């Protein structure tokens, strides 16, 4: 049901951003085994979501919310019907699921994930 499950923060300097979030909030980061310039961030135990810090070479928007969907193709059609647009082609991330970026009518970038 369209629940936010992940957030990406973009940075021009990954090391500086990882150091900031680690020192300020206790986050730990590790390099993604799938994508260069992408740090997976653990934000701690308990309620909440984890996230990532990624290079602005991929996306310019400072923060990107990821929404879990049951059917990526149906959701992409629903986004278009609601006035949004696709911002990437769907892709498969091994062990994670199918992913795509979309933009709402105001241009806000969102990530969609159909879990594997």
Extract the runs of DSSP E, i.e. beta strands, from 25-108. 28-31, 38-42, 51-55, 63-68, 85-86, 91-93, 97-103
**Which tokens belong to 45?**
């135990």
pLDDT in tens, 52-69: 999 999 888 899 999 999
pLDDT at 106 over 90: no
**Homologous superfamily assigned to 7-59:** 2,3-Dihydroxybiphenyl 1,2-Dioxygenase, domain 1 (3.10.180.10)
Please tell us whether the domain made up of 69-116 is placed in CATH 1.10.10.10: no
Return the domain boundaries, the chain.
7-59, 69-116
Q: Say whether 69-116 and 7-59 share the same fold.
A: yes
Q: Are strands 38-42 and 28-31 parallel, antiparallel or unpaired?
A: antiparallel
Asked if 110 and 103 count as a contact pair (C-beta separation under 8 A), the reply is yes
What predicted TM-score, i.e. pTM, was given to this entire model? 0.79
Residue 1 has what pLDDT? 64
Q: How many other C-beta atoms are found inside a 10 Å radius of the C-beta of residue 44?
A: 11
Quote the DSSP letter at residue 70: S
pLDDT in tens, 17-34: 999 889 888 899 999 999
């Amino acid at each position: 049901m369209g629940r936010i499950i992940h957030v990406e923060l973009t940075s021009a300097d990954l090391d500086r951003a990882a150091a900031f979030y680690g020192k300020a909030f206790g986050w730990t980061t590790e390099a993604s085994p799938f994508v260069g310039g992408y740090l997976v961030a653990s934000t701690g135990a308990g309620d909440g979501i984890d996230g990532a810090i990624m290079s602005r070479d991929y996306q310019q928007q400072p923060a990107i919310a990821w929404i879990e969907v049951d059917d990526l193709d149906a959701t992409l059609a629903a986004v278009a019907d609601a006035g949004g647009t696709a911002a990437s082609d769907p892709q498969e991330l091994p062990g994670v699921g199918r992913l795509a970026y979309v933009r709402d009518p105001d241009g806000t970038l969102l990530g969609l994930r159909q879990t594997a």
